[in-house]
Amino acid sequence: MTDRRNFIKKAALGTIGISSGLTCKKRDKNENISAINTIAVKNSKKPLVISTWNHGLPANAETWKQLKNGKPTLDAIEAGLRIPEGDPKVRSVGYGGFPDREGKVTLDACIMDYNSNCGSVSFLQNIKHPISVAKRVLQNTPHVMLSGEGALQFALSEGFKEENLLTPDAEKDWKKWLIESKYKPVINIENHDTISMLVIDQEGNISGASTTSGAAWKMHGRVGDSPIIGAGLFLDNQVGAAAATGLGEAVIRTAGSAMVVELMRQGKSPAQACKLIVERIYDKHKNHNDIEYLQVGFIAVNKNGEYSGYSLRSGFNYAVFDDDNGNRMEDAQFKLKWKD
């Protein structure tokens, strides 16, 4: 264990070297996009916190409070996301999340900062707060992603405690599901699914994170888009950030969040970029088995503080917190109504 700790400490020093290499050159924050963006700036004030789904409201509130108290941005994001992770009523994130088809709750999370440092865990079991483990991966290892047993070992070496995450309610639902055992992920469950959060902090720097128990009744070992940098979350501090919710397989197939950011780099507004990528995902899946239950949604922000959300099917909403209008839900525009 001591060797392991030493390794992790040394690795962490290595990370400092790597991360400074990744640090973005300082540029005027509007340099890339201001001239070509035609959509009105909805919000140019900092900070801005935006999170997927209703459980984004309490998460936003905590993150906001911490940012206003001068806490480091990643700490503020972590504190916000720990709220739905710890809430047993939220059936799609952390403790109380729906299990896989073997009755195991397996969790995915990632976090990324404005210097492009990333930390991620996937297929993590028995640890209530995967977002905190992902943050330790970012801070204390030379890696981006740890998975399964290795992620658990790392969490334990960092002092996290194992606990049973399958609540009696989730177990009851799983046993009901077992009767027919039909895999048909339903996104929009009570307006709670993966929580992805994007933040522009007081300095105007962009960071983000995502945490989920993934698709209910998935195969054991399945990992979704949420812990994958570029799929469930991506940001470039010179341009903006995007994060996904919905059917992870579709988002991975299309490198969804990375593509939204690249479209913003080319001058598209967050609204235009999210819509174009959702339409691309729809086109790629028109003849795919997944189309029957396919739902994907993105939130995005750019360096001007513009933000938006767009989903394939109706029902996606997101929480936004800014100085002008406080913490509120906004409905995403969508391409199709459910059943279309």
Q: Give me the active site residues, please.
A: 194
Distance CA 70, CA 64 (A): 10
DSSP 159: T
Closest CA to 94 of 223, 208, 257, 210: 210
Closer to ligand SD4 by CB, 125 or 245: give it.
245
Q: Is residue 33 a contact point for ligand SD4 (CB under 6 A)? A: no
Q: Among 51, 140, 141, 212, indicate the residue that binds ligand SD4 (CB under 6 A).
A: 212
Q: Among 117, 194, 304, 317, indicate the residue that binds ligand SD4 (CB under 6 A).
A: 194
3-state secondary structure of 278: helix
From residue 33, alpha-carbon distances to 65, 208, 287, 301 in Å are 30, 20, 36, 12
Distance CA 204, CA 322 (A): 13
Q: Among 51, 207, 245, 302, indicate the residue that binds ligand SD4 (CB under 6 A).
A: 245
Nearest distance from C-beta of residue 247 to ligand SD4, angstroms: 6
Contact segment (CB under 6 A) with ligand SD4 among 79-87, 116-124, 209-217, 306-314 equals 209-217
Closer to ligand SD4 by CB, 93 or 137: give it.
93
Q: Among 224, 240, 256, 309, indicate the residue that binds ligand SD4 (CB under 6 A).
A: 224
Q: Among 85, 201, 225, 322, indicate the residue that binds ligand SD4 (CB under 6 A).
A: 225
Q: Which residues 6+ apart lie within 8 Å of 6 measured at CB?
A: none
Closer to ligand SD4 by CB, 193 or 201: give it.
193
Closer to ligand SD4 by CB, 193 or 306: give it.
193
Q: Among 107, 109, 134, 215, indicate the residue that binds ligand SD4 (CB under 6 A).
A: 215
Q: Is residue 60 a contact point for ligand SD4 (CB under 6 A)? A: no
Contact segment (CB under 6 A) with ligand SD4 among 17-25, 117-125, 166-174, 242-250 equals 242-250
Distance CA 6, CA 3 (A): 5
Q: Among 47, 94, 97, 248, indicate the residue that binds ligand SD4 (CB under 6 A).
A: 248
> Which residues are registered as beta bridge partners of 245?
297
Closest CA to 196 of 235, 163, 167, 162: 235
Nearest distance from C-beta of residue 94 to ligand SD4, angstroms: 13
Distance CA 233, CA 230 (A): 6
From residue 118, alpha-carbon distances to 19, 104, 227, 234 in Å are 9, 26, 10, 10
Q: Is residue 308 a contact point for ligand SD4 (CB under 6 A)? A: no
Q: Is residue 226 a contact point for ligand SD4 (CB under 6 A)? A: yes
Closer to ligand SD4 by CB, 133 or 247: give it.
247
From residue 244, alpha-carbon distances to 84, 150, 181 in Å are 17, 26, 27
Distance CA 317, CA 312 (A): 12
Nearest distance from C-beta of residue 108 to ligand SD4, angstroms: 6
Residues that bind ligand SD4 (rule: CB under 6 A) add up to a total of 13
Q: Is residue 187 a contact point for ligand SD4 (CB under 6 A)? A: yes
Distance of CA 86 to the CA centre of its chain: 16
**Contact set with ligand SD4 (CB under 6 A):** 187, 193-194, 212, 214-215, 224-226, 245-248
